[in-house]
């Protein structure tokens, strides 16, 4: 049906259906009727709430970096480590890339995102093009913040070390837990549609639109950055200046290339040692599967299952799922689109959690430094496994989920190569 082009509309970023946004009460959200993706949410105090959470999160992060984080006592020898010392140890072991990854995804990116939320929601008087650049940066970096995954890795490390000695938390552990919760809440209260509408109004749609139909059929596309509705042949968004196409250009080719590369890295990542445990001067290399077997034999069944699921089962199933999505998105047969969409959402959600084993190794390497009695060092397998996780995350990001829905009621079966059909 036709609808007023000046009313609030959103092209669903997951299935491309044009949805009219009704008046929302506080606490309500608008959901796509086809794929059930949340499009926008109306929060109470939409400006103050994210700013309050972000400021509190930054304060907790500052406290977490000032004091010892975790400590360990083995046979009268004690060791403690701060958050800043973890990457320093990795650098000393010639694993600067792992140290950089730790600092970026655990501290730097979350801090940048919190500062960006404060600037955008506090209404600071800065030029509009600065606000646009900050908002673009915020939503691009959001997926790479892994504070909660690192915290889960710390808890797994505790269980692994309990068999060797007394493990305790330092003064900064509680502030870091609070930082994790506050930054998650700040992200939850950050509504992309509301924020962009208050930075700058979206360009007006020139012709009437039909709610409930694909934007591509109406000659429309959605800006991947600010959600503005644009003509399908307009490459640059008039609001955020992002370049884009109706569909991600060569989406399937990029996804498959990244997927094949991750598979090639996944094999040596599982065969080569991820860490070396030195006990009484005797080095003992350990692979991912060997660590799972050791935990299981020691009776730590829940932790063994967590490591097995996050480090072995999830990456394997994720690569299979991405390959399945690419195959079905470019096939001619009838497919269950709702099922494929659920698979895509699961792939996006659980993929980051495979990084938990890398963070476990980082914590163990920094904390267990007791000379010939007991020491733990990272090995090449950890670096390869981190590469697998990053590549599969990129593969999920380059896959365009709208390709799943494009052939609903249509005969066209080819993916657009230049952004148009």
CA 392 to CA 296: how far, in whole Å? 28
| pLDDT at residue number 350 | 82
β-bridge mates for residue 209, sequence order: 3
Q: Report pLDDT for 105.
A: 93
Rounded distance between C-alpha atoms, residue 186 and residue 109, angstroms: 14
SS (H, E, C) 261-303: HHHHHHHHHHHCCCEEEEECCEEEEECHHHHHHHHHHCCCHHH
pLDDT on residue 371 = 67
Which whole-number Å values give the CA distances from 406 to 29, 129, 216, 264, 416, in the listed order? 25, 34, 8, 31, 11
Distance CA 202, CA 230 (A): 9
Break the chain into its structural domains and give their ranges.
2-42+202-231, 247-406
Q: CA angle 92-94-97, nearest 5°? A: 110
Mean pLDDT by 10 residues, the chain (421 residues): 59 90 88 90 90 96 92 78 88 85 93 95 87 92 92 85 79 94 94 90 82 88 89 88 86 92 92 83 81 78 80 88 85 75 85 86 82 78 91 91 74 40 36
**Which pLDDT belongs to residue 372?**
65
pLDDT value at residue 408:
60
User: Any idea which architecture 247-406 has in CATH?
Assistant: Up-down Bundle (1.20)
Question: What confidence score (pLDDT) does residue 413 get?
Answer: 35
What pLDDT digit, counting tens, does each position of 343-402 carry? 888 888 887 888 888 898 888 888 887 666 777 888 888 889 999 999 999 998 899 888
């Amino acid at each position: 049906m036709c609808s007023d082009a000046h009313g609030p509309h959103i092209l669903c970023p997951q299935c491309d259906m044009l949805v009219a946004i009704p008046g929302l009460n506080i606490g309500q959200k608008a959901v796509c009727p086809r794929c059930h993706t949340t499009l926008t949410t109306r929060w109470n105090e939409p400006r103050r709430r994210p700013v309050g959470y972000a400021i509190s999160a930054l304060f907790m992060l500052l406290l977490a970096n000032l004091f010892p984080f975790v400590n360990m006592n083995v046979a009268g020898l004690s060791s403690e480590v701060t958050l800043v010392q973890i990457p320093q140890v990795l650098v000393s072991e010639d694993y600067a890339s792992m140290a950089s990854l730790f600092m970026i995804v655990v501290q730097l990116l979350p801090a940048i995102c919190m500062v960006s939320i404060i600037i955008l929601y506090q209404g600071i008087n800065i030029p509009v093009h600065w606000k646009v650049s900050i908002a673009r940066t915020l939503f691009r970096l959001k997926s790479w913040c892994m504070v909660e995954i690192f915290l889960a890795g710390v808890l797994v490390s505790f269980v692994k070390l309990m068999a060797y000695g007394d493990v305790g938390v330092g003064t900064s552990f509680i502030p870091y837990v609070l930082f994790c919760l506050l930054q998650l809440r700040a992200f939850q209260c950050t509504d992309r549609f509301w924020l962009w509408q208050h930075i700058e109004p979206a360009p007006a749609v020139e012709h009437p639109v039909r709610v409930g139909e694909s934007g591509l059929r109406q000659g429309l596309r959605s800006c991947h950055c600010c959600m503005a509705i644009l003509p399908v042949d307009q490459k640059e968004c008039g609001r955020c200046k992002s370049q884009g196409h109706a569909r991600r250009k060569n989406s399937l080719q990029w996804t498959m290339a990244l997927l094949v590369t991750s598979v090639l890295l996944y094999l040596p990542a599982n065969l080569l040692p991820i860490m070396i445990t030195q006990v009484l001067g005797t080095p003992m290399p350990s692979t991912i599967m060997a660590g799972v077997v050791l935990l299981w034999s020691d009776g730590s069944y829940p932790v063994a299952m967590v490591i097995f699921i996050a480090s072995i089962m999830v990456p394997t199933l994720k690569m299979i799922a991405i390959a399945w999505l690419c195959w079905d998105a470019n096939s001619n047969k009838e497919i269950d689109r709702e099922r494929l969409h659920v698979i895509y959402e699961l792939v996006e959600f659980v993929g980051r959690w495979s990084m938990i084993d890398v963070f476990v190794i980082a914590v163990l390497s920094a904390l267990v430094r007791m000379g010939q009695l007991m020491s733990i060092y990272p090995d090449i397998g950890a670096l390869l496994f981190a590469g697998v996780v990053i590549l599969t995350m990129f593969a999920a990001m380059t896959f365009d989920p709208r390709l799943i829905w494009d052939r609903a009621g249509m005969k066209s079966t080819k993916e657009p190569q230049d952004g148009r059909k």
